[in-house]
C-alpha cells in the first residue's frame, strides 16, 4: 500500500484513507492483518505431504464403484498409430481430432470403465459442472447437442462424452479398466512401447499423455483411520450401495446415520445439501470456509437453443475466455458468477467505487477484492440464521486464492436442525477413533465419513509422472521423472527433448483457464496439426531440440514473478502447494502471458509451417 492511503500527515491523504474505510466498512490494514492471521494459522510444516494417496493399505478406497464385474481379456500385443493415455475430456477431444485427421488406429487407454475422466469417476450427489455447460461441454455443435441446463449435471456430461466416443469411433480401439504402467521409446523402431497392468504391450508411433489435472483422490494422513469401524469413502468413489439414491439425491440409506464430511471445497459445496437433507445427523468438518456466491442454474430455454447461429459455441467460449483472462469485451455473453468476478476484480467494475480516492492500480484492485469478499461474507450472514455458524462460514482471503464456488443451497443447508458445522479453526480433523473423528480433543461419533478432500494436483513437474502412476522412458532410457525432477523442460509444455513423438497435455509450461475446455481445444488443435504434418511429410520422428526447449523455459521463467507473490500471500490450498511454494513453481508455471497469448503464439508457430524448434527425421 502506498503512503497515500496508509497514513501520512497531509489532510487530503488522511481524508482518502478515512473514505476508503467508510466505503469498505472496515480498515484495510486490519483486514490485511486478519487475512495474514487466518493464513498463518493454516500453514503446516508438512504442507502437501499432509495428504496420502489411496494406496498403501487404502487401495480399497480407490476401487472403481462403477465396475461391478471387472472385464477379463487377453493381453494385447499390437501396433496402433497413436496411443492417447487418458479418456477424459482432453483425451477424447484429442483422439477425435486425430481420427478426423485420418488416423485409423487411435487407442485411448483409460483406467476407468468408460470415457469421461473426472465425469466418470465423480458422480457424487449434486454433481454439476460449475462452469456453464454451453461453453464447457466439448463439440456441442458437431454433436448437434445443447445441454438441458445452464450448469449440466455430471451424468449429462458423461453421457455426452460417451456420445462423442460413439460418433467418432473412439470405442473401437479403446482399452478401459487398464492402467499404463510404463512406456519406452525405441530409437531403432522409432516407436513407443506402452505397457499396462493387463500385460498389454502396445507399440505406437505417437503417444499423447492426457491424464488430466486432478485425477488422483487424496486423503489427509490421519492417525487411526484403520481403527474406524464405520464406512468411509472419497467423493470421487461415491458408495451408493451404502447411501442409496443417485446423483439427484434420495440417499435413503443415510436416514438413520450420523454422517461426517471432511472438507469444504468446490466438491463439498455440491455434496453437502444432499447429505444434510438425508442423513439423520450431518457434521461438516471445516478447515477453511469456501467463498460461495450465487449459482442461478436454470433449464435451457428451447427458443434460445433454436436461435443459436453456427459458430455460437466457439464465440461464447472465446468471449468468456477473454473476460476471464482480464481482457475487456463489449458484451458479456455468459454473464455469470465467473465473469462477474473478473469484471469486478480485473476489469474495473469493482474499482469504480474507489476511483476518486487517488489509489494506485494495485490499491484499487485490492479494494475491489476486499469489497467482493465482504459481499460474500454478507451473503453468508443474510442466509445462515445462527450467528455463530454464519461467522464461522465467512472466508477471509482474496477471492482467487481458492477456486470460487457458486451454489444456492449450500449455505441454506446450515439452517437445518440436523446439520452441524464443526469449525476446526483452521486445524482440520486431527485423528480417527474406532467410533468417529477427533477435533480439538473432542470425539464426534459417526457411522460414515465422506472425504471431500480433493485431488493431487498435476501442476508441478516432479509430480507429473507420480500423478499419472507410470514412468516414461525416453531416448537411452532417460526417465521423464528424472528429467523433470528440478522442474519442467519443454517446448510449449508439450514436447520434451529426449522424448520423440510424445506430446503432453497439461497446464505445466502451457496454459491455464477456469474453463478447461478452452485449453483442451487449443492443445488438441496443436496435437492434430503436428501429427498431421508428421504423416504428410512422412516423418519417422519429431523431437524438440535442446536450444528450443531452453528458449521456452527461459520465456516461462521471465514473467512469472507476479503469480508467485500472489500465491505466496494466499491461504493454503492446492493452488499454492498448501502454503509452501515448491522450488519449481516458476519453471512449472503456465505461460505467464496468459492463455490468449499462449494460443496466439502456437497459432503463429503453426502458420509459419516450419515446425520450428523440432528436429525432424525422415
Return residues touching ligand NDP (CB under 6 A).
42, 129-131, 214, 220, 262-268, 285, 287-288, 403, 424, 428-429, 452-455, 572-574
Q: Least Å distance between CB 3 and ligand NDP?
A: 35
Mind spelling out the 3-state secondary structure of 216-245?
A: CEEEECCCCHHHCCCEEEEHHHCCHHHHCC
Q: Least Å distance between CB 345 and ligand NDP?
A: 18
CA distance 406 to 554: 37
Q: In the structure grid, which three cell numbers stand for residue 497, read together?
A: 527433448
Q: Which is nearer to ligand NDP, 139 or 272 (CB)?
A: 272
Q: What separation, in Å, do the N-terminal and C-terminal C-alpha atoms of the chain show?
A: 59
DSSP state of 172: S
Q: In the structure grid, which three cell numbers stand for residue 375, read together?
A: 459481499
User: Do 527 and 83 meet the contact criterion of CB atoms below 8 Å apart?
Assistant: no
The pair phi, psi for residue 334, each rounded to 5°, is: -85, -45
> Comparing C-alpha atoms, which of 218, 240, 216 is closest to residue 66?
240
CA distance 105 to 95: 10
DSSP SS3 for 195: strand
User: Do 98 and 163 meet the contact criterion of CB atoms below 8 Å apart?
Assistant: no
Q: Which is nearer to ligand NDP, 93 or 367 (CB)?
A: 93
DSSP line for 336-374: SHHHHHHHHHTSSTGGGGGGGG---HHHHHHHHHHHHHH
Q: Least Å distance between CB 318 and ligand NDP?
A: 19
Q: Which is nearer to ligand NDP, 132 or 528 (CB)?
A: 132
Q: Least Å distance between CB 612 and ligand NDP?
A: 34
Q: CB 4: neighbour CB atoms within 10 A?
A: 18
Q: Which helix (H) or strand (E) holds 157?
A: helix 154-167
Q: Least Å distance between CB 460 and ligand NDP?
A: 15
Sheet of strand 436-439: strand arrangement: 431-432, 436-439, 442-445
Q: Which is nearer to ligand NDP, 263 or 613 (CB)?
A: 263
Q: CB 196: neighbour CB atoms within 10 A?
A: 22
Q: Least Å distance between CB 295 and ligand NDP?
A: 11
User: Do 291 and 404 meet the contact criterion of CB atoms below 8 Å apart?
Assistant: yes
User: Do 230 and 262 meet the contact criterion of CB atoms below 8 Å apart?
Assistant: no
Q: Which is nearer to ligand NDP, 432 or 473 (CB)?
A: 432
User: Do 87 and 110 meet the contact criterion of CB atoms below 8 Å apart?
Assistant: yes
Q: Which is nearer to ligand NDP, 285 or 605 (CB)?
A: 285
Residue whose C-alpha cell reads 502447494 in the numeric block: 577
Q: Which is nearer to ligand NDP, 121 or 346 (CB)?
A: 121
CA distance 605 to 405: 37
> Comparing C-alpha atoms, which of 97, 84, 89, 86 is closest to residue 524?
97
The pair phi, psi for residue 132, each rounded to 5°, is: -55, 130
Q: Least Å distance between CB 538 and ligand NDP?
A: 41
User: Do 445 and 306 meet the contact criterion of CB atoms below 8 Å apart?
Assistant: no
Q: Least Å distance between CB 304 and ligand NDP?
A: 22
Q: Least Å distance between CB 214 and ligand NDP?
A: 5
Q: Which is nearer to ligand NDP, 127 or 345 (CB)?
A: 127
Q: Least Å distance between CB 22 and ligand NDP?
A: 32
Q: Least Å distance between CB 259 and ligand NDP?
A: 15
Q: Least Å distance between CB 271 and ligand NDP?
A: 9
CA distance 339 to 562: 22
User: Do 496 and 509 meet the contact criterion of CB atoms below 8 Å apart?
Assistant: no
CA distance 191 to 370: 55
Q: In the structure grid, which three cell numbers stand for residue 438, read together?
A: 477427533
Beta bridge partners of 544: 614
Q: Least Å distance between CB 349 and ligand NDP?
A: 24
Q: Least Å distance between CB 446 and ligand NDP?
A: 14
Q: Which is nearer to ligand NDP, 295 or 489 (CB)?
A: 295
Q: Which is nearer to ligand NDP, 264 or 321 (CB)?
A: 264
Q: Which is nearer to ligand NDP, 20 or 373 (CB)?
A: 373
Q: CB 245: neighbour CB atoms within 10 A?
A: 16
CA distance 226 to 221: 11
Q: Least Å distance between CB 428 and ligand NDP?
A: 3
Amino acid at each position: 500500500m502506498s503512503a497515500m492511503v496508509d497514513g501520512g500527515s497531509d489532510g487530503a491523504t488522511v481524508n482518502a484513507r478515512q473514505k476508503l474505510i467508510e466505503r469498505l466498512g472496515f480498515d484495510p490494514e486490519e483486514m490485511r492483518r486478519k487475512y495474514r492471521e487466518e493464513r498463518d494459522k493454516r500453514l503446516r510444516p508438512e504442507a502437501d505431504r499432509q495428504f496420502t494417496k489411496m494406496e498403501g493399505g487404502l487401495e480399497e478406497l480407490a476401487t472403481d464403484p462403477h465396475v461391478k464385474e471387472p472385464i477379463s481379456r487377453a493381453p494385447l500385443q499390437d501396433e496402433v498409430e497413436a496411443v492417447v493415455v487418458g479418456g477424459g475430456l482432453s483425451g477424447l477431444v484429442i483422439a477425435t481430432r486425430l481420427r478426423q485427421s485420418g488416423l485409423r488406429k487411435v487407442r485411448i487407454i483409460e483406467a476407468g470403465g468408460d470415457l469421461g475422466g473426472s465425469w466418470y469417476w465423480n458422480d457424487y450427489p449434486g454433481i454439476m459442472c460449475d462452469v456453464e455447460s454451453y461453453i464447457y461441454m466439448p463439440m456441442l455443435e458437431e454433436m448437434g447437442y445443447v445441454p438441458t441446463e445452464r450448469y449440466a449435471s455430471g451424468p449429462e456430461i458423461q453421457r455426452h462424452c460417451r456420445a462423442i466416443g460413439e460418433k467418432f469411433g473412439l470405442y473401437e480401439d479403446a482399452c478401459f479398466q487398464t492402467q499404463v504402467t510404463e512406456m519406452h521409446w525405441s530409437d531403432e523402431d522409432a516407436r513407443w512401447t506402452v505397457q499396462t497392468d493387463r500385460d498389454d504391450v502396445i507399440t505406437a508411433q505417437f503417444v499423447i499423455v492426457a491424464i488430466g489435472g486432478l485425477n488422483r483422490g487424496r486423503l489427509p494422513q490421519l492417525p487411526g483411520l484403520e481403527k474406524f469401524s464405520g464406512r468411509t469413502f472419497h467423493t470421487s468413489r461415491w458408495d451408493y450401495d451404502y447411501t442409496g439414491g443417485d446423483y439427484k439425491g434420495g440417499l435413503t440409506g443415510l436416514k438413520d446415520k450420523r454422517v461426517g464430511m471432511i472438507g469444504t471445497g468446490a466438491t463439498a459445496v455440491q455434496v453437502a445439501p444432499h447429505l444434510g437433507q438425508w442423513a439423520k445427523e450431518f457434521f461438516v468438518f471445516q478447515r477453511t470456509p469456501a467463498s460461495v456466491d450465487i449459482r442461478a442454474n436454470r433449464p435451457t430455454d428451447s427458443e434460445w437453443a433454436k436461435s443459436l447461429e453456427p459458430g455460437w459455441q466457439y464465440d461464447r467460449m472465446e468471449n468468456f475466455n477473454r473476460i476471464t483472462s482480464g481482457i475487456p469485451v463489449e458484451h458479456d455473453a455468459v454473464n455469470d458468477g465467473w465473469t462477474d468476478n473478473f469484471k469486478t476484480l480485473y476489469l474495473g467494475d469493482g474499482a469504480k467505487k474507489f476511483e476518486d480516492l487517488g489509489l494506485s492500480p494495485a490499491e484499487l484492485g485490492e479494494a475491489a477484492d476486499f469489497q467482493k469478499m465482504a459481499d460474500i461474507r454478507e451473503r453468508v450472514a443474510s442466509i445462515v440464521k445462527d450467528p455463530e455458524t454464519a461467522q464461522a462460514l465467512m472466508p477471509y482471503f482474496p477471492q482467487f486464492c481458492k477456486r470460487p464456488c457458486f451454489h444456492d443451497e449450500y449455505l441454506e443447508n446450515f439452517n437445518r436442525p440436523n446439520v452441524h458445522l464443526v469449525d476446526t479453526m483452521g486445524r482440520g480433523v486431527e485423528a480417527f477413533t474406532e467410533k468417529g473423528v477427533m477435533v480439538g480433543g473432542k470425539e464426534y461419533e459417526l457411522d460414515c465419513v465422506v472425504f471431500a478432500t480433493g485431488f493431487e494436483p498435476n501442476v508441478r513437474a516432479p509430480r507429473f509422472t507420480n500423478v499419472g502412476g507410470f514412468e516414461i522412458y525416453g531416448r537411452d532410457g532417460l526417465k521423464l521423472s528424472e528429467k523433470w525432477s528440478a522442474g519442467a523442460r519443454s517446448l510449449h509444455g508439450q514436447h520434451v527433448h529426449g522424448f520423440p513423438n510424445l506430446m503432453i497435455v497439461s497446464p505445466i509450461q502451457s496454459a491455464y483457464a477456469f474453463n478447461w475446455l478452452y485449453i483442451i481445444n487449443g492443445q488438441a488443435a496443436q496435437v492434430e496439426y503436428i501429427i498431421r504434418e508428421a504423416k504428410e511429410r512422412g516423418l519417422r520422428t519429431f523431437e524438440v531440440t535442446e536450444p528450443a526447449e531452453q528458449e521456452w523455459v527461459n520465456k516461462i521463467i521471465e514473467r512469472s514473478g507476479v503469480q508467485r507473490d500472489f500465491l505466496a500471500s494466499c491461504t493454503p490450498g492446492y493452488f499454492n502447494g498448501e502454503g509452501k511454494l515448491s522450488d519449481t513453481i516458476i519453471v512449472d508455471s503456465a505461460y505467464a502471458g496468459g492463455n490468449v497469448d499462449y494460443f496466439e503464439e502456437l497459432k503463429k508457430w503453426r502458420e509459419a509451417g516450419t515446425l520450428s524448434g523440432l528436429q525432424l527425421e525422415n
